[in-house]
Amino acid sequence: MKIKRIEHIAIACHDMKETMGVFEHAFGLKMECEEDLPSAKLSMYPVGETYIEFLEGKTEEFGIKKWVREKGQSLFHICFEVEDIDGALDELRAKGVKLLDETPKTGHGGARIAFIDPESTGNVLIELAELPPGH
């Protein structure tokens, strides 16, 4: 598996707008894009070749609201950009790594994404993303 870079670091928020304001004021970050997904609202802030992603869950069923309720607003996951997500998932399966997503689903910006079970990664939630051409 070829990991190209850390694509983003996600922060789970209780109040995304408030948290965005803090990062914009303290660090001068500028938002590049926002998305309103069925399960969450997100905003992306470029920092060099990586992004900080702020997430606010919209439904109780999705992990972000539960995470914030149990752990407070904090680091949620790290996303690695990979060249070939299908090949990466096959390689991880062959190594005995547990996956939360057996097949990729559509994520932010049309990326193909999949999450790895934190039980296999030292209790850190890892997302893999294969970006669409041109990103």
Q: Which domains does the chain have, with CATH numbers?
A: 3-130 (3.10.180.10)
Q: Quote the tokens at residue 129.
A: 């993303």
pLDDT in tens, 70-127: 889 999 999 999 999 999 999 999 999 999 999 999 988 899 999 999 999 999 999 9
At CA 57, angle to CA 75 and CA 115, rounded to 5? 60
Helix (H/G/I), strand (E/B), else coil: 34: strand
d(C-alpha 20, C-alpha 55), whole Å:
10
Q: Quote the tokens at residue 91.
A: 């390689």
pLDDT band at 61 (very low <50, low <70, confident <90, very high): low
Q: Give the other-Cβ count within 10 Å of 132's Cβ.
A: 10
